[in-house]
Amino acid sequence: MASSKDSSSTSNISRSTFHTSRGQSKQRLDTLVVQRGLVESRERAKQLILAGEVIVSGSAQVKPGHLISPEAEIAVKQPPRYVSRGGLKLEKALQVFQVDVRDSVAIDVGASTGGFTDCLLQHGAKFVYAVDVGRGQLAWKIRQDSRVCVIEGTNIRTIGMNRFQSSIKIGVVDVSFISLQKVLPVVTQIVDPTGEVLALVKPQFEAGRKHVGKGGVVREARVHVQVLCDLIRFIRGLDQSVMGVSHSPIRGPAGNIEYLIWLKAGIEGTSVDWEKRAVQVVQEANAALQ
């Protein structure tokens, strides 16, 4: 995260205070955070504010659109490790599943701000294809990195294989408003048969609408279990092996508990009963993220 030249850092807090003429109109908090150089994009500012990481005049402010005085002191609790919180989710997957991405060519499906891509690069990936259906979301730090090929405005389900100049060994997936069951068949074809795929499971986009509550949150543990079990069965139907299932270390923006799943091509590589394990993972997630 970029730090303001006018800010100081004490106890992992980056502060910024601007003195302006009185009477200047109030501005959105997310806009001011970017203007002061505390983060590199407005999207990143929103994420930090929603996570309670931005302090305004001594108190946490969790509304990106909150109007504040340009004279207010703004502090970011600590410089984030990655360009978005998504990097922390993939980091856990790499650690728990012991997946080594060093010197690998990877594809990040649903790259968005670039948290997964950033994590891959920081863990030694040689090159990353960052694919997203949207445009203009990728953090500048990632966009200008020579190890990244940015493929924007592109639906992974219609992408041509000629877009990739190298054999891809690692696939990572973080998509929204679409089920993994529509995306994984394509990703597993793009990734080399000897490669691996790590996907973030978001229950709100996997469960039926009747199971999604207020604010887009799936609260019932049994629905989470069903989502994981359905996905595990689907993956097996793709001639892929489920190698690991865990929960994300942090909740999604709306408060949803999310999950991590690791798969490889071929015969099941472990004797674990993954559907039974799904029940345990959901219990662990609810205990850890209360």
Q: Are residues 94 and 66 in the same domain?
A: no
Q: Are residues 140 and 262 in the same domain?
A: yes
Residue-wise pLDDT for 46-105, tens only, equals 888 988 889 999 889 999 999 999 889 999 887 778 999 899 999 999 999 999 999 999
Domain boundary at 44, 76, 108, which?
A: 76
Length in residues, the chain: 290
Q: Are residues 124 and 67 in the same domain?
A: no
Q: Of 197 and 62, which is predicted with more confidence?
A: 197
Between CA 120 and CA 115 the distance in angstroms is: 9
Q: Does residue 35 sit within a domain?
A: yes
Domain boundary at 76, 96, 126, which?
A: 76
Taking alpha carbons only, the member of 281, 181, 182 closest to residue 230 is: 181
CATH of the domain at 93: 3.40.50.150
Percent of the chain that is helix, strand, coil (3-state, to 5): 35, 25, 45
Lowest mean pLDDT across 55-59, 167-171, 191-195, 280-284? 55-59
pLDDT at 280: 97
Q: Which domain holds residue 59?
A: 9-76
Residue-wise pLDDT for 151-175, tens only, equals 999 999 999 999 998 999 999 999 9
pLDDT at 32 over 50: yes
4 pLDDT tier (thresholds 50, 70, 90): very low
Mean pLDDT of 128-155: 97
pLDDT at 137: 94
pLDDT at 210 over 60: yes
Question: How many CA atoms lie less than 13 Å away from 159 in the CB half-sphere?
Answer: 25
Q: Are residues 174 and 269 in the same domain?
A: yes
Between CA 94 and CA 50 the distance in angstroms is: 26
Domain tally, the chain: 2
CATH of the domain at 16: 3.10.290.10
